[in-house]
Copies of this chain bind each other. A is one copy, B any other.
Amino acid sequence: MDIREIARRAKVSTATVSRAINRVPTVDPQLAKRVWKVVDELGYYPNTQARALVLGRSRIFGLIVSEITNPFFPEIVQTFENLAVENNYEILVTSTVHDPKRMESSVRRMIERRVDGVAILTFGMEETLIEHLRFRKVPLVFIDVGPDVPGIANIRINYQNGIRQAVQHLAALRHTRIAFIAGPLHLKSALARREAFKVSMTEIGLSPELIVVGDHRMEGGMSALIELESLSNRPTAVLCSNDMTAIGVMREAYDHNIRIPDDLSVVGFDDIRMAEFTIPPLTTVQMSQHELAKIAFRALLNEVECEPSSQQHHKYELITSLVLRRSTALAPAGGHATTHLKANRATGSRKIPAAGSRS
Residues of chain A touching chain B, judged by Cβ–Cβ distance below 8 Å, are 43, 45-50, 52-53, 58, 67-69, 71, 73-75, 77-78, 81, 85, 90-95, 97, 102, 105, 108-109, 111-114, 132, 135, 218, 247, 250-251, 254, 273-274, 277-280
Contacts and interface: CB of A to CB of B under 8 A. Distances in A.
Given A50-B53, A69-B75, A69-B78, A250 B279 contact: yes
Nearest to A85: B105
A47 B112 CA distance: 5
A78 B77 CA distance: 13
Contacts of A250: 279
B85 A47 contact: no
7 contacts: A46-B112, A47-B114, A49-B50, A49-B52, A69-B74, A69-B273, A274-B274
A254 B277 CA distance: 11
A85 B101 CA distance: 11
B81 A94 contact: yes
Contacts of A69: 74-75, 78, 273
A48 B277 contact: no
A53 B45 contact: no
A49 B90 contact: no
Q: Could you say how many copies of this chain the assembly holds? A: 2
Given A90-B109, A250-B279, A48 B78 contact: no
B254 A49 contact: no
A221 B113 CA distance: 44
A178 to B, nearest CB: 23
Contacts of A95: 78, 81
Contact of A135 (B43, B75, B92, B102): B43
A92 B94 contact: no
A122 B169 CA distance: 43
Given A95-B78, A277-B247, A58 B68 contact: no
Shortest Cβ-Cβ A-B pairs, 7 listed: A49-B49, A48-B112, A69-B74, A45-B111, A68-B74, A254-B279, A279-B279
A193 B28 CA distance: 56
A89 to B, nearest CB: 10
Contacts of A92: 90, 92
A241 B95 CA distance: 30
B85 A102 contact: yes
Given A132-B43, A251-B279, A67 B58 contact: no
Contacts of A218: 277
A47 B43 contact: no
A52 B67 CA distance: 28
A352 to B, nearest CB: 17
B68 A90 contact: no
A94 B81 CA distance: 8
A71 B58 CA distance: 31
A78 B279 CA distance: 28
Contacts of A68: 68, 74, 77-78, 81
A54 to B, nearest CB: 10
A168 to B, nearest CB: 28
A94 B114 CA distance: 20
Nearest to A273: B69
Contacts of A47: 53, 112, 114
Contact of A114 (B48, B78, B135, B273): B48
